[in-house]
Amino acid sequence: MKPRRRTSVTLQLLWLEYKELHADGLQYSQFCELYRRWRGGLDRVLRQEHRAGEKVFVGCESQELPEWIGAHVRMFEYFGGVPELAVPDNVKTAVQHACYYEPDLNPTYHAHRGP
Protein backbone atom coordinates (compact mmCIF):
# COMPACT_ATOMS: atom_id res chain seq x y z
CA MET A 1 0.00 0.00 0.00
CA LYS A 2 1.57 3.30 -1.09
CA PRO A 3 1.19 6.39 1.15
CA ARG A 4 -0.99 9.16 -0.24
CA ARG A 5 0.25 12.73 -0.23
CA ARG A 6 -3.13 14.31 -0.85
CA THR A 7 -4.92 16.26 1.86
CA SER A 8 -8.46 15.53 3.08
CA VAL A 9 -8.20 11.84 2.23
CA THR A 10 -10.20 9.57 4.49
CA LEU A 11 -9.58 5.91 5.12
CA GLN A 12 -12.92 5.13 3.52
CA LEU A 13 -11.92 7.01 0.36
CA LEU A 14 -8.66 5.06 0.22
CA TRP A 15 -10.62 1.82 0.57
CA LEU A 16 -13.05 2.82 -2.20
CA GLU A 17 -10.12 3.57 -4.52
CA TYR A 18 -8.55 0.25 -3.55
CA LYS A 19 -11.85 -1.59 -4.31
CA GLU A 20 -12.01 0.01 -7.77
CA LEU A 21 -8.69 -1.63 -8.58
CA HIS A 22 -9.30 -4.87 -6.65
CA ALA A 23 -13.01 -5.71 -6.73
CA ASP A 24 -12.47 -9.02 -4.92
CA GLY A 25 -10.02 -7.49 -2.46
CA LEU A 26 -10.22 -6.82 1.28
CA GLN A 27 -13.39 -5.66 2.94
CA TYR A 28 -13.38 -2.35 4.81
CA SER A 29 -12.67 -3.66 8.32
CA GLN A 30 -9.70 -5.78 7.20
CA PHE A 31 -8.41 -2.94 5.02
CA CYS A 32 -8.53 -0.59 8.04
CA GLU A 33 -6.74 -3.10 10.27
CA LEU A 34 -3.91 -3.62 7.77
CA TYR A 35 -3.64 0.12 7.12
CA ARG A 36 -3.32 0.84 10.87
CA ARG A 37 -0.60 -1.79 11.19
CA TRP A 38 1.24 -0.29 8.24
CA ARG A 39 0.88 3.24 9.63
CA GLY A 40 2.08 2.12 13.06
CA GLY A 41 5.34 0.92 11.57
CA LEU A 42 6.14 4.24 9.89
CA ASP A 43 9.08 6.30 11.04
CA ARG A 44 7.58 9.52 12.43
CA VAL A 45 10.57 11.70 11.58
CA LEU A 46 9.82 14.75 9.47
CA ARG A 47 11.78 14.55 6.27
CA GLN A 48 12.26 17.61 4.14
CA GLU A 49 13.72 17.10 0.72
CA HIS A 50 15.72 19.97 -0.73
CA ARG A 51 18.83 20.63 -2.74
CA ALA A 52 22.01 21.50 -0.88
CA GLY A 53 22.16 25.24 -0.21
CA GLU A 54 18.53 25.71 -1.22
CA LYS A 55 17.34 26.57 2.31
CA VAL A 56 19.22 28.50 4.95
CA PHE A 57 18.37 29.65 8.45
CA VAL A 58 19.31 33.13 9.61
CA GLY A 59 19.17 33.87 13.34
CA CYS A 60 18.88 37.37 14.79
CA GLU A 61 18.93 38.65 18.36
CA SER A 62 15.93 40.85 17.57
CA GLN A 63 13.47 41.33 14.73
CA GLU A 64 14.22 45.00 14.25
CA LEU A 65 14.54 45.88 10.57
CA PRO A 66 18.23 47.00 10.56
CA GLU A 67 19.36 43.80 12.30
CA TRP A 68 17.12 41.63 10.12
CA ILE A 69 18.40 43.14 6.87
CA GLY A 70 22.00 43.11 8.15
CA ALA A 71 21.80 39.39 8.96
CA HIS A 72 20.58 38.62 5.46
CA VAL A 73 23.24 40.77 3.83
CA ARG A 74 25.98 39.04 5.86
CA MET A 75 24.55 35.63 5.00
CA PHE A 76 24.40 36.38 1.26
CA GLU A 77 27.94 37.79 1.37
CA TYR A 78 29.17 34.68 3.19
CA PHE A 79 27.65 32.39 0.56
CA GLY A 80 28.79 34.64 -2.26
CA GLY A 81 25.32 34.95 -3.77
CA VAL A 82 21.63 34.74 -3.15
CA PRO A 83 19.18 31.82 -3.27
CA GLU A 84 16.43 31.51 -5.85
CA LEU A 85 13.91 32.25 -3.14
CA ALA A 86 13.98 33.65 0.40
CA VAL A 87 11.07 32.61 2.63
CA PRO A 88 10.76 34.92 5.66
CA ASP A 89 8.22 32.75 7.53
CA ASN A 90 5.79 35.66 8.05
CA VAL A 91 7.95 37.48 10.58
CA LYS A 92 6.51 40.98 11.00
CA THR A 93 9.82 42.58 10.00
CA ALA A 94 9.57 41.06 6.52
CA VAL A 95 5.84 40.57 6.03
CA GLN A 96 3.55 43.50 6.81
CA HIS A 97 0.34 41.62 5.98
CA ALA A 98 0.31 37.82 5.74
CA CYS A 99 -1.56 36.22 2.85
CA TYR A 100 -1.13 32.73 1.42
CA TYR A 101 -1.11 33.94 -2.20
CA GLU A 102 0.12 37.56 -2.11
CA PRO A 103 1.79 38.57 1.17
CA ASP A 104 2.47 42.28 1.60
CA LEU A 105 6.23 42.43 2.11
CA ASN A 106 8.15 45.19 3.87
CA PRO A 107 9.53 47.39 1.03
CA THR A 108 13.09 47.32 2.45
CA TYR A 109 13.07 43.53 2.69
CA HIS A 110 11.45 43.12 -0.70
CA ALA A 111 13.81 45.53 -2.51
CA HIS A 112 16.34 43.82 -4.72
CA ARG A 113 18.72 44.64 -7.49
CA GLY A 114 18.31 42.72 -10.67
CA PRO A 115 20.29 42.67 -13.90
Q: Which helix (H) or strand (E) holds 40?
A: helix 28-40
pLDDT tens digits along 34-43: 999 988 887 7
Let me know if residue 104 belongs to a domain: yes
Overall domain count for the chain: 2
Indicate if 106 and 69 belong to the same structural domain.
Answer: yes
Q: Has residue 26 been placed in a domain? A: yes
Determine the average pLDDT of the residues in 11-20.
Answer: 93
**4 domain residue, yes or no:** no
Q: Say how many C-beta atoms besides its own lie within 10 A of residue 80's C-beta.
A: 6
How much is the pTM? 0.45
Q: Residue 71 is part of which domain span?
A: 65-110
Instruction: Say if 52 falls within a structural domain.
Output: no
Please check whether residue 5 lies inside any domain of the structure. no
